[in-house]
């Protein structure tokens, strides 16, 4: 380990920040490890916030049990915000004026929900979902709701729709595009997701270009979609994508695009500063993945690099979503001209998106985690596949191992 590293500062106490700290200690870093976190809670993960926290009252989904967390010996600054990175001085400035010197700095500031109309933030029964505090508020509000509206037919909006249906609440989803989750999956998958939601009684309003929200005297929310008013909703949840928390990096003069530009080891354009998680643009894909697995595994790699070890992140993009009891896993990111092969297994469909040489580019599987495991190998090996075999439910995919 490089001997000049006495003090590491991590900005952001989320998934990436937490796993980086664990890996730093695991790799033998014994110096001072400071975490600046604007949330008051111990490290926790977000996927349960739209799922079991709302439907089953699951507790704070801690990343580590309390004893393991204590063993990391973290010098917390929370709830505190980092407001500036002074690269010349090698210091992080906090909102209370404290200046924290660093030998290595990790930016793991994640992302925040984007509101398409700023004024929606002032409506009492309109909310977004990102934090534990949001999730506990959502749960309380759903308990008192008969019907809710959701703006945005992406992963978060659809998971909230599924959770609300599980609680017996009526749900309408308003989406601007003609398809659900259209930015991350192909039309065949979008159609299967639409069918799933319709089967579970979710009202879907696709291709609604213009949404206006207003407040009734009793606090309920008016939704006017393309000029047509709906019966007011008890609650409206907005899930229309995120803003990447890039400001600190940008103002410090680090190279940024969609996210902070990093190499496969997580180095930014400043050799003492690293980035991980949602805020760190994927080193090969050139986009911010917003995935639990990336936040965790890329952060672990970055921790090694921060200690001067050889480190290289090369996992394929992978994320999952749980909706109406179905586990949907997405492997890979669509790019270029692809053709789709659908395999209709009794336990759920699998969608293979292949390039013109029949190599896998993206795969989406409903309730078929084993198929995804195989897909990870095919992706890594750039294997040429036989579309006919893939689409035949009587053909055992394990033969293609
Ligand atoms: C409701 C929900 C459900 C999800 N479900 C899934 C799923 O099923 N599958 C999946 O793969 N992914 C899912 N995700 C995405 C996944 O949780 C994120 O990709 C992951 O949390 C990113 O981790 P991160 O550490 O980069 O960011 P975060 O977890 O957002 O952590 C960043 C932290 O930094 C803090 N921060 C920001 N700026 C500052 C500052 N200046 N000073 C101090 N602190 C700061 C933030 O408040 C936050 O606490 C879900 C996300 C949400 C919100």
Is the separation of the CB atoms in 279 and 259 below 8 Å? Answer: yes
Pocket test residue of 46, 260, 275, 299 for ligand 1, highest count of atoms within 8 A of CB? 46
**Is residue 67 domain-shared with residue 123, that is, in the same domain?**
no
- Residue 261 scores a pLDDT above 80: yes
| Distance in angstroms (rounded) separating the CA atoms of residues 152 and 80 | 31
Distance 96 CA to ligand 1 centre (A): 24
- Residue 187 scores a pLDDT above 80: yes
**Is residue 266 domain-shared with residue 377, that is, in the same domain?**
no
Report yes or no on 251 lying in a domain. yes
Tell me: the pLDDT tens digits for 242-260?
Answer: 999 999 999 999 999 999 9
| Distance in angstroms (rounded) separating the CA atoms of residues 158 and 141 | 17
Q: Is the dihedral of CA 360, 361, 364, 368 positive or negative?
A: positive
- List the CATH number of the domain containing 58: 3.50.50.60
Mean pLDDT of the chain: 96
Tell me: the pLDDT tens digits for 84-119?
Answer: 999 999 999 999 999 999 999 999 999 999 999 999
Q: What is the DSSP letter of 127?
A: E
- Residue 336 scores a pLDDT above 90: no
Polymer length of the chain = 401
Report yes or no on 326 lying in a domain. no
Pocket of ligand 1 contains residue 15 by CB under 6 Å = yes
Strands 7-11 and 32-36 come out as: parallel
The Cα-based distances of 193 to 155, 200, 291 in angstroms read 10, 11, 19
Report yes or no on 376 lying in a domain. yes
Q: Which of 218, 238, 258 corresponds to the end of one domain?
A: 238
Pocket of ligand 1 contains residue 154 by CB under 6 Å = no
The Cβ-side half-sphere exposure at 355, using a 13 Å CA radius, reads: 14
Pocket of ligand 1 contains residue 291 by CB under 6 Å = yes
| Distance in angstroms (rounded) separating the CA atoms of residues 325 and 228 | 33
Report yes or no on 314 lying in a domain. no
Report yes or no on 325 lying in a domain. no
**Is residue 135 domain-shared with residue 25, that is, in the same domain?**
no
Distance 217 CA to ligand 1 centre (A): 35
Token pair listed for 282: 């994927």
**Is residue 198 domain-shared with residue 167, that is, in the same domain?**
yes
Torsion angle (degrees, nearest 10) of CA 26, 332, 47, 62: 0
Look up the domain containing 298 and give its range: 7-112+242-306
Preceding peptide of 79 cis, ω within 30°: yes
* Burial (CB count within 10 angstroms: exposed 0-12, middle 13-18, buried 19+), residue 268: buried
Is the separation of the CB atoms in 152 and 116 below 8 Å? Answer: no
Report yes or no on 320 lying in a domain. no
| % of the chain residues with pLDDT over 70 | 99
Pocket of ligand 1 contains residue 323 by CB under 6 Å = no
Report yes or no on 312 lying in a domain. no
**Is residue 121 domain-shared with residue 234, that is, in the same domain?**
yes
Strands 235-238 and 126-127 come out as: parallel
Atom number in ligand 1 closest to CA 113: 53
φ, ψ of residue 142 in degrees (nearest 5): -65, -35
**Is residue 124 domain-shared with residue 232, that is, in the same domain?**
yes
**Is residue 218 domain-shared with residue 249, that is, in the same domain?**
no
- Residue 3 scores a pLDDT above 70: no
Distance 49 CA to ligand 1 centre (A): 11
Please, which pLDDT band fits residue 399 given cuts at 50, 70 and 90?
confident
| Residue nearest atom 4 of ligand 1, based on CA coordinates | 47
Tell me: the pLDDT tens digits for 294-334?
Answer: 999 999 999 999 999 999 999 999 999 999 999 999 999 99
Tell me: the pLDDT tens digits for 218-246?
Answer: 999 999 999 999 999 999 999 999 999 99
Token pair listed for 248: 């600190």
| Distance in angstroms (rounded) separating the CA atoms of residues 144 and 140 | 7
**Is residue 231 domain-shared with residue 249, that is, in the same domain?**
no
Pocket of ligand 1 contains residue 76 by CB under 6 Å = no
Q: Domain count for the chain, please give it.
A: 3
**Is residue 159 domain-shared with residue 21, that is, in the same domain?**
no
What number of other Cβ atoms are within 10 A of residue 166's Cβ? 16
Is the separation of the CB atoms in 249 and 138 below 8 Å? Answer: no
Is the separation of the CB atoms in 342 and 393 below 8 Å? Answer: no
Atom number in ligand 1 closest to CA 319: 11
**Is residue 123 domain-shared with residue 232, that is, in the same domain?**
yes
Atom number in ligand 1 closest to CA 80: 43
Q: Which of 205, 222, 238 corresponds to the end of one domain?
A: 238
Distance 291 CA to ligand 1 centre (A): 9
Report yes or no on 277 lying in a domain. yes
Q: Compute the 3-state secondary structure of the chain and give helix, strand, coil in percent, each to the nearest 5.
A: 30, 30, 45
Atom number in ligand 1 closest to CA 46: 17
Q: Which of 1-10, 292-301, 335-344 has the lowest mean pLDDT?
A: 1-10
**Is residue 104 domain-shared with residue 19, that is, in the same domain?**
yes
Residue 2: predicted pLDDT: 61
Please, which pLDDT band fits residue 4 given cuts at 50, 70 and 90?
confident
Tell me: the pLDDT tens digits for 126-177?
Answer: 999 999 999 999 999 999 999 999 999 999 999 999 999 999 999 999 999 9
Pocket test residue of 43, 49, 51, 295 for ligand 1, highest count of atoms within 8 A of CB? 295
**Is residue 251 domain-shared with residue 137, that is, in the same domain?**
no
| Distance in angstroms (rounded) separating the CA atoms of residues 332 and 169 | 34
- Residue 49 scores a pLDDT above 90: yes
Distance 170 CA to ligand 1 centre (A): 28
| Distance in angstroms (rounded) separating the CA atoms of residues 135 and 132 | 5
- List the CATH number of the domain containing 343: 3.30.390.30
Q: Which of 238, 263, 285 corresponds to the end of one domain?
A: 238
Across-strand partners of 224?
212, 229
| Distance in angstroms (rounded) separating the CA atoms of residues 315 and 158 | 26
């Amino acid at each position: 380990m490089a001997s000049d590293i006495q003090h590491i500062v991590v900005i952001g106490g989320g998934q990436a920040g937490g796993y980086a700290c664990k890996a730093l200690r695991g790799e033998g870093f014994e110096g001072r490890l400071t975490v600046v976190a604007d949330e008051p809670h111990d490290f926790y993960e977000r996927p349960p916030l739209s799922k079991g926290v709302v439907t089953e009252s699951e507790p704070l989904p801690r990343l580590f049990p309390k004893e393991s967390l204590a063993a990391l010996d973290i010098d917390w600054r929370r709830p505190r915000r980092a407001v500036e990175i002074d690269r010349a001085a090698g210091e992080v400035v906090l909102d209370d004026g404290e200046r924290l010197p660093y030998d290595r700095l990790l930016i793991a500031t994640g992302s925040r929900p984007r509101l398409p109309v700023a004024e929606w933030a002032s409506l009492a029964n309109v909310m977004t979902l990102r934090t534990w505090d949001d999730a506990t508020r959502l749960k309380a509000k759903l308990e008192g709701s008969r019907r809710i509206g959701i703006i945005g037919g992406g992963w978060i909006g659809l998971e909230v729709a599924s959770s609300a249906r599980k609680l017996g609440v009526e749900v309408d989803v308003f989406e601007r595009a003609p398809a659900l989750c259209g930015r991350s999956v192909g039309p065949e998958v979008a159609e299967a997701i639409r069918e799933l939601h319709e089967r579970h009684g979710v009202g879907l309003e696709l291709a609604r270009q213009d949404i206006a929200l207003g407040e009734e005297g009793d606090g309920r929310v008016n939704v006017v979609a393309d000029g047509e008013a709906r019966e007011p909703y008890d609650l409206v949840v907005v899930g229309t994508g995120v803003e990447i928390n890039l400001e600190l990096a940008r103002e410090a003069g680090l190279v940024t695009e969609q996210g902070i530009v990093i190499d496969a080891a997580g180095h930014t354009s400043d050799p003492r500063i690293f980035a991980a998680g949602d805020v760190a643009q994927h080193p090969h894909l050139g986009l911010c993945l917003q995935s639990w697995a990336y936040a965790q595994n890329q952060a672990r790699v970055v921790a090694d690099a921060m200690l001067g070890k050889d480190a290289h992140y090369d996992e394929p993009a992978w994320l999952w979503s749980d909706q109406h009891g179905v586990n949907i896993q997405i492997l890979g990111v669509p790019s270029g001209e692809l053709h789709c092969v659908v395999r209709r297994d009794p336990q759920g469909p699998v969608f293979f998106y292949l390039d013109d040489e029949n190599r896998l580019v993206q795969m989406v599987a409903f309730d078929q985690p084993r198929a995804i495991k195989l897909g990870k190998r095919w992706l890594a090996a750039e294997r040429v596949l036989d579309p006919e075999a893939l689409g035949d439910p009587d053909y055992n995919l394990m033969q293609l191992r």
